Amino acid sequence: MKFYQWLRTGRLWFSILAGCGGAAPLSAQGLPPQNSDEEQVHMAPLPDALVLANGTRVTTAETWTRERRPELLELFRTQMYGRAPEKPAGMTFETRGLEPAALGGLATRKEITVFLTGRKDGPMMTILLYVPNAAPKPAPAFLGLNFYGNQSVDADPGITRSTGWMMANDKLGIANHRATEKTCGAQASRWQVEKILKRGYATATVYYGDIEPDHPEGWKTGIRAALSKDGAETRWKDDEWSAIAAWAWGLSRAMDYLETDKDIDAKHVAVHGHSRLGKTALWAGATDERFALTISNNSGEGGAALARRDFGETTAIINRANPHWFCRNFHRYSDNPAGLPVDQHELIALMAPRPVYVASAEQDKWADPRGEFLAAKNAGPVYALFGKTGIDLAEPPPVNQPAGDFIGYHIRTGEHDITAYDWERFLDFADRHFKQPH
């Protein structure tokens, strides 16, 4: 079986997670060794987010916005995530499945088909949107991508089931890359839909497989091929968009819709994501300043964790295991992450002065919780240019004790997941920045 075929079944990914406590399982799979011993960590010096390419130091918010931010954004585009196209001309929305008394009357449920090129036989994605009935309108909202179809986020029987490609999962009975009934409500604990609605927020989601299937050849049936003049025969340039860039692009298209919905306060939309979709949320928040708040949950390497720390998943491992997630240029840094002209504290800094939240889990060593904290902390000097406070701590806060102001952070007990505790913190953070004057 070829490497990419093994990856497509999902067996490689779950093998990696099961064996992330040491190097042997990864080495046995032909992947680079992984360090899980903090005493053995090597960390190269971080690039200075406040120094322009010409060596000039940035000392004002104006210079950051006018010069340094565009410079960093271009480096991330060309060297890591890839360059995505603009909003396609002719994109249209069609609302269906309107239910004004969903979830026992708690919310109005809407399902919106986004025809990404305007063609009914072209690429499309479906937004599942719940708007709280008891909250004032327009309501602030959370938007994120999901892993197993819109039906997986809640047991609501009225949700239309996704029917496209789906990542293999033995627990959910997905072996042929098609959804089963077991996906309905299967990840409801990660979405906490009723909790969000009761706090006065709308919640919206899109199945990431609608945008592009998550395997090395997924682009051939996804949005990247659909928007390329050469379709599945495209020869991608080294700086053209990756899967993560495609998924982030899809989040921006969902935001295009939210701006048209009178029930949604489009000035207060938080973009969020977990794991690889946490990486995606960060890139969406960096490239689309309409997102007023960005949340990264356990996003790790290529997300909130520093590439220059050799702990947990590394640049070499992620590029080998998931070659489609980043642009071709990024693969040049697999064996030399210190050669990358940027690091993830600068990605987080691209949100400034908008609030951003990074969440880690104590047992999620693969995602390098300390590396995530250090990236969030080292974005602070950029926020200071705007008079905003980041994380005023030298070391990570105690477990289950959130810290930070415009840059929020917590590390909770438990594993790689999104829990009710995480959502309480995200909602508190959103309340503070969306509902209180600054």
Active site residues: 275, 416
How far is residue 436 from each of residues 50, 143, 201, measured CA to CA in Å?
29, 21, 15
CA 399 centroid distance within chain? 23
Q: Contact, 207 vs 178, CB < 8 A? A: no
Residues in a beta bridge with 139? 264
Q: Contact, 345 vs 36, CB < 8 A? A: no
- In angstroms, rounded to a whole number, what is the distance separating the alpha carbons of residues 257 and 114? 8
Residue by residue, what is the 3-state secondary structure of the chain? CCHHHHHHHCHHHHHHHHCCCCHHHHHHCCCCCCCCCHHHCCECCCCCCCECCCCCECCCHHHHHHHHHHHHHHHHHHHHHCECCCCCCCCEEEEEEEEEEHHHHCEEEEEEEEECCCCCCCCEEEEEEEEECCCCCCEEEEEEEECCCHHHCCCCCCCCCCCCCCCCECCCCECCCCCCHHHCCCCHHHHCHHHHHHCCCEEEEEEHHHHCCCCCCHHHHCHHHHCCCCHHHCCCCCCECCHHHHHHHHHHHHHHHHCCCCCEEEEEEEEEEECHHHHHHHHHHHHCCCCCEEEEECCCECCCECCCECCCCCHHHHHHHCCCCCCHHHHHHCCCHHHCCCCHHHHHHCCCCCCEEEEEECCCHHHCHHHHHHHHHHCHHHHHHCCCCCCCCCCCCCCCCCEECCEEEEEECCCCCCCHHHHHHHHHHHHHHHCCCC
How far is residue 95 from each of residues 17, 209, 268, 318, measured CA to CA in Å?
39, 20, 22, 38
How far is residue 291 from each of residues 114, 245, 271, 284, 287, measured CA to CA in Å?
19, 16, 6, 8, 9
